[in-house]
Amino acid sequence: MTKNYIPTINISSLIRDEFKTQNALKIIKKIEKACVEVGFFQVTGHGIDIKKINNICKIGNRFFNSSEINKNKLAPKKWNNKNKNLYRGYFPNTVNGKEGLDLGDLKITLKHVRKYKSKYIEYLDLKKSLDKTSIKSLSNYFDEIFSLSEILFKSIIRLYNKDENISRKAFSRIKTLSTLRFNYYPNQNKPVEISKQDGVALGCETHVDSGIFTVLYQDKKGGLQFQNRRNKKWYDVPFNKNALIVNTGLALEYLSMGKFKATNHRVLWNKTKRMSIPFFFEPSYDFKMSPSFLNGNSYNKNKGIIFEKFLKKSLEKFIEYQR
């Protein structure tokens, strides 16, 4: 399918006016409509310089084009028994046809790891494989994409007529399990899956994401598709060099009691190299996932499921996380 079914929303009013103006409220309603009807939308006016994004792409490409020895310095224990990290780091394309690099908050130190004792909060020593300039750029990008994601989540909170600052209860910066990922698709010899629905060859399996939002930049080769919830047909996510792609995840579906559903998506198989950079915006590991957070007059933190357990259950279906 080639029809452009995804709305593009200029969110500069949210960035500039902090939810207070009529323009900002109009943008929030557009986000609501996109989340409910499609589950995917593109944002422009997001405030992140395209030059910075292009630089992040270059850093990713340099890393994946470096030697196997260099990349494996960041691999989890499953692929490098000298390392202690289990969740973050590099995984090879022998897993499911693509290489990946998963980065948690770059502000995490060994002190934080000892303090919080969550298996998903790990210190990754990027100096093993990356230069200082690249690490600084990655850290700055994480800061900016995290702030953007928080603005999007606050817009959802405003729809429920609540103070947007309650987002702090769900997202305590170092404690969040948010992940900046690089997906690198090499010259794949064969698809990782043939769609049972329409027989299309895939380079990434059909799935939904675990978090609140995923905010993604894909290169111009494209290949990302999402499924229309009504007619079950698949639509291309178009490339727009100035836009970031946003999709809803299972955590938002849970908190909204099914109003904002997570949306199926997949990547088409092609024989040329491709890279995408998703940011999975995920709550603090100890946040109690309760529908009362958005619904009702008060948040009951004693009811619900801790996000760390929610995430573990969600990740079990992904082969790269079977560690």
Is residue 315 included in any domain, yes or no?
yes
What confidence score (pLDDT) does residue 1 get? 40
What confidence score (pLDDT) does residue 4 get? 62
What confidence score (pLDDT) does residue 97 get? 73
Is residue 299 included in any domain, yes or no?
yes
CA 174 to chain centre: 16
**Inter-residue contact 261 to 57 (CB < 8 Å):** no
Is residue 2 included in any domain, yes or no?
no
Residues 156-201 pLDDT 10s? 999 998 889 999 999 999 999 999 999 998 776 777 778 778 878 7
What confidence score (pLDDT) does residue 302 get? 65
Q: Which 3-state string (H, E, C) describes the chain?
A: CCCCCCCEEECHHHHHHCCCCHHHHHHHHHHHHHHHHCCEEEEECCCCCHHHHHHHHHHHHHHHCCCHHHHHCCCCCCCCCCCCCCCCEEECCCCCCCEEEEECCCCCCHHHHHHHCCCCCCCCCHHHCCCHHHHHHHHHHHHHHHHHHHHHHHHHHHHCCCCHHHHHHHCCHHHECCEEEEEEECCCCCCCEECCCCCCEEEEEEECCCCCEEEEEECCCCCEEEECCCCCCEEECCCCCCCEEEEECHHHHHHCCCCCCCCCEEEECCCCCEEEEEEEECCECCCEECHHHCCCCCCCCCCCEEHHHHHHHHHCCCHHHCC
**Inter-residue contact 138 to 59 (CB < 8 Å):** yes
Is residue 3 included in any domain, yes or no?
no
Is residue 1 included in any domain, yes or no?
no
Q: Which residues contact 132 (CB under 8 A, 6 or more apart)?
A: none
Is residue 158 included in any domain, yes or no?
yes
Q: Measured on CA atoms in the order 48, 219, 55, 88, is the torsion positive or negative?
A: positive
What confidence score (pLDDT) does residue 2 get? 44
Residues of the domain holding 255: 8-321
Tens-of-pLDDT digits for all 323 residues of the chain? 445 688 999 999 898 877 878 888 999 999 999 999 999 999 999 999 999 999 999 999 999 999 999 999 999 999 999 999 999 999 988 777 788 999 999 999 999 999 998 989 999 999 999 999 999 999 999 999 999 999 999 999 999 988 899 999 999 999 999 999 999 987 767 777 787 788 787 777 778 899 999 999 988 877 888 988 888 889 888 888 899 999 999 999 999 999 999 998 888 887 778 889 999 999 999 999 988 899 877 666 667 899 999 988 887 776 666 65
Is residue 148 included in any domain, yes or no?
yes
Residue 125 sits in a domain whose CATH number is: 2.60.120.330
Is residue 238 included in any domain, yes or no?
yes
CA distance 117 to 110: 11
Count structural domains, the chain: 1
